[in-house]
């Protein structure tokens, strides 16, 4: 006998794969588009069901953007009270719409705001939710979503199911799935839903950008094809300056291990790994990083890894395409000179 607090459901009534489209001001965050790409893949495995996005208080231009990235349908929650984000009210409105349309899967980007919303929505829908999935598959026999998440410091992968409840919910960190290409010839349906919410109990008073001291005006690690990352082995903040110079020459950006962040050389928004960012660059250059499992978790999908480390037995060397044995203080300045020379030639 299932728990009596779970309203009985008929699983057949639930169809389609839905994605929450998070806004940041007047644009969509990339993670929602990344999830639309994954949703298309899941929808196909489910026999070609519909892919839809849900957007709170966004314009039709944003809905169309989602359609260009893979949505068949976008539901815009239209309520002037929801122009500004507050968690309790957003979660309630999103849950209402999901309840009405009954998708079998509902995915949410695990941004800070997404993590805040996700579990409240799941609870309102009397369903389960798996946090920070890195892979999502379909069991063709049961149509169950296999929600795969790394656990215990990345040494194990747990596969979690929600066998009795619908929708099946999962959150996914930004950067885990690739953003699908934009196809402006795609068409889809835009539905505007007026959603009423109960009394507003949270109000935004003010919002201000924190001027965090970044080491250089380089792009964020999630959106760079080339990431040059440094660890404790750099020894000093000066060491990072070399990496910044190298990154600029390569049109890339800099990242860091937890230890380099702890040392205060780099802001924590640049940390790569289990408790930092998951990235999928074309090239990752790890300098003075030992390659602890928690760090490796953030770069498993890098196309190519080059490691520079004097210790040939450091785990990063076993997990690199090119393991350069040496001292960065010798190698990086020479590499910079060589790249500059090449640049001047062309």
Partner 1 sequence: MKIVVLTKAAVPLSSAIRIDPKTGTLIREGVPLTVNIWDRDAVEFALRLKDRYGGEVIALSMAPPSGIPALESLIGMGVDRAILASDRAFAGADTWATAHVLAKTIEKYIPDYDLVVAGEETIDSTTAHIGAQTASWLGVPYIYYVYDAEVKGRTLVVRRFLEDEGVDEVYEVDMPAVISVLKGSQIPREVRLSRKLNAREYIQVVSNKELGLDPECVGLRGSPTLVAGMAPATYPPRKKVVIQGEPSEVVKKLVEILKSEGVV
At 17, list the tokens.
Answer: 């794969």
| Distance of alpha carbon 31 from alpha carbon 21, whole angstroms | 8
At 223, list the tokens.
Answer: 């959106």
Choose between 82 and 289: whose C-beta lies nearer to ligand FAD.
289
C-beta of 28: minimal distance to partner 1 in Å? 14
Closest C-alpha among 105, 32, 92 to residue 62: 32
**Does the footprint of ligand FAD cover residue 174 (CB under 6 A)?**
no
Closest C-alpha among 52, 48, 47 to residue 66: 52
**Does the footprint of partner 1 cover residue 323 (CB under 8 A)?**
yes
221-235: buried (b, 16+ CB within 10 Å) or exposed (e) per residue? bbebebbbbbbbbbe
At 199, list the tokens.
Answer: 């009394």
Residue 99 binding target from partner 1, ligand FAD, none, CB below 5 to 8 Å by type = none
**Does the footprint of partner 1 cover residue 187 (CB under 8 A)?**
no
Residue 9 binding target from partner 1, ligand FAD, none, CB below 5 to 8 Å by type = none
Question: DSSP code of 252?
Answer: -
Binding mask 141-170 for partner 1 (x = CB under 8 A): -----xx--xxxxxxxxxxxxxxxx-----
Identify which range of 46-54, 70-78, 98-106, 205-213 contacts partner 1 by CB under 8 A. 205-213
C-beta of 152: minimal distance to ligand FAD in Å? 6
| Distance of alpha carbon 237 from alpha carbon 232, whole angstroms | 10
Count CB atoms within 10 A of the CB of residue 238. Answer: 10
- Residues 69-108 interacting with partner 1 (rule: CB under 8 A): 86-88, 91
**Does the footprint of partner 1 cover residue 229 (CB under 8 A)?**
no
Question: Residues in the site for ligand FAD, rule: CB under 6 A?
Answer: 128-131, 149, 151, 153, 158, 160, 231-233, 257-260, 271-276, 287-290, 292, 294-295, 308-311, 314, 327-329
């Amino acid at each position: 006998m299932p728990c009596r607090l779970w309203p009985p459901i008929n699983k057949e009534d639930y169809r389609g794969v839905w994605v929450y489209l998070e806004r940041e001001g007047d644009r969509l965050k990339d993670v929602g588009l990344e999830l639309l790409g994954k949703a298309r893949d899941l929808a196909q495995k489910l026999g070609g069901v519909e892919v839809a996005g849900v957007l709170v208080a966004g314009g039709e231009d944003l809905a169309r953007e989602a359609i260009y990235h893979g949505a068949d349908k976008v539901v815009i929650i239209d309520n002037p009270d929801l122009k500004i984000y507050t968690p309790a009210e957003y979660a309630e409105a999103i849950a209402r719409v999901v309840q009405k349309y009954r998708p079998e899967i509902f995915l949410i980007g695990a941004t800070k705001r997404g993590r805040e919303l996700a579990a409240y929505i799941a609870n309102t829908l009397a369903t389960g939710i798996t946090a920070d999935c890195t892979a999502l598959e379909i069991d063709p026999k049961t149509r169950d979503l296999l929600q795969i998440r790394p656990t215990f410091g990345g040494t194990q992968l747990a596969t979690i199911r929600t066998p009795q409840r619908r929708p099946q919910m999962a959150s996914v960190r930004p950067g885990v799935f690739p953003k699908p290409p934009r196809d402006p010839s795609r068409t889809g349906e835009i539905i505007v839903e007026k959603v009423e919410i109960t009394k507003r109990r949270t109000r935004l008073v003010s919002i201000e950008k924190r001027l965090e001291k970044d080491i250089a005006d380089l792009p964020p690690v999630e959106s760079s094809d080339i990431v040059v990352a440094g660890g404790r082995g750099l020894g000093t903040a000066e060491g990072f300056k070399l990496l910044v110079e190298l990154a600029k020459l390569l049109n890339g950006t800099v990242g860091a291990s937890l230890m380099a962040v702890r040392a205060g050389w780099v802001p924590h928004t640049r940390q790569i790994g289990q408790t930092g960012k998951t990235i999928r660059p074309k090239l990752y250059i790890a300098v003075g990083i030992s390659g602890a499992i928690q760090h490796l978790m953030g770069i498993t999908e890098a196309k190519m890894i080059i490691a520079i480390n004097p210790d040939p037995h450091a785990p990063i060397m076993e997990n690199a395409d090119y393991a350069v044995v040496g001292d960065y203080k010798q190698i990086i300045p020479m590499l910079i000179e060589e790249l500059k020379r090449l640049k001047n030639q062309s």
